[in-house]
Amino acid sequence: MKTKITIEVPFFPTENRSKIIQCLENLIGEIPEIQEKEKNDHSIFIVDNIDIRTIESLFNYIRRAEILDSVRNCSLIDYNTRSVIFSLHKQALYTGKFAIVTPDTSSPLGNVNLMIQGKEPNQILDWFAPQTVDGKEIKPRRFNEIFNL
């Protein structure tokens, strides 16, 4: 199974559509295509089949910012879809900043969910946000290692 990236972001009627687009562009650059699913009181924007290289800046940022433990602790693994899910703060992304959502910092209008899907979700998590000792990676990973998982 090839590694696949999908992003989902809620869009409420009170929000500005162009700001949601800007939020996505700040995360992945050029957006290939946005699908829209209607929910009860809002829509979900879905961008899928995103090139894995688009998250390289996020991969590098969490290392520079030394937040690997937070990212790992706030991630979810969905074994049904073989995905690792990271929630990012929508308003922070709009301003060009990466902020991982913790239970205390959820965005009031929903979060941006970044899903990395592949054959072995545990290996994906260990690649993206590896375990640390004193904040340092036990086994430092390079971005291009994803192509070997």
List pLDDT tens digits, range 56-89.
Answer: 999 999 999 999 999 999 999 999 999 999 999 9
- Torsion on CA atoms 95, 101, 105, 108, rounded to nearest 10: 70
Count CA within 13 A, CB hemisphere, residue 46. 11
Q: Measuring CA to CA, which residue among 93, 87, 75, 85 is closest to residue 111?
A: 87
pLDDT band (50, 70, 90) for residue 1: low
Place of tokens 């941006």: 112
Cβ within 8 Å of residue 12, ≥6 positions away: 41, 42, 109, 110
DSSP state of 54: G
Q: What structural domains and CATH numbers belong to the chain?
A: 4-130 (3.30.1440.10)
Taking residues 127-140, report their average pLDDT.
90
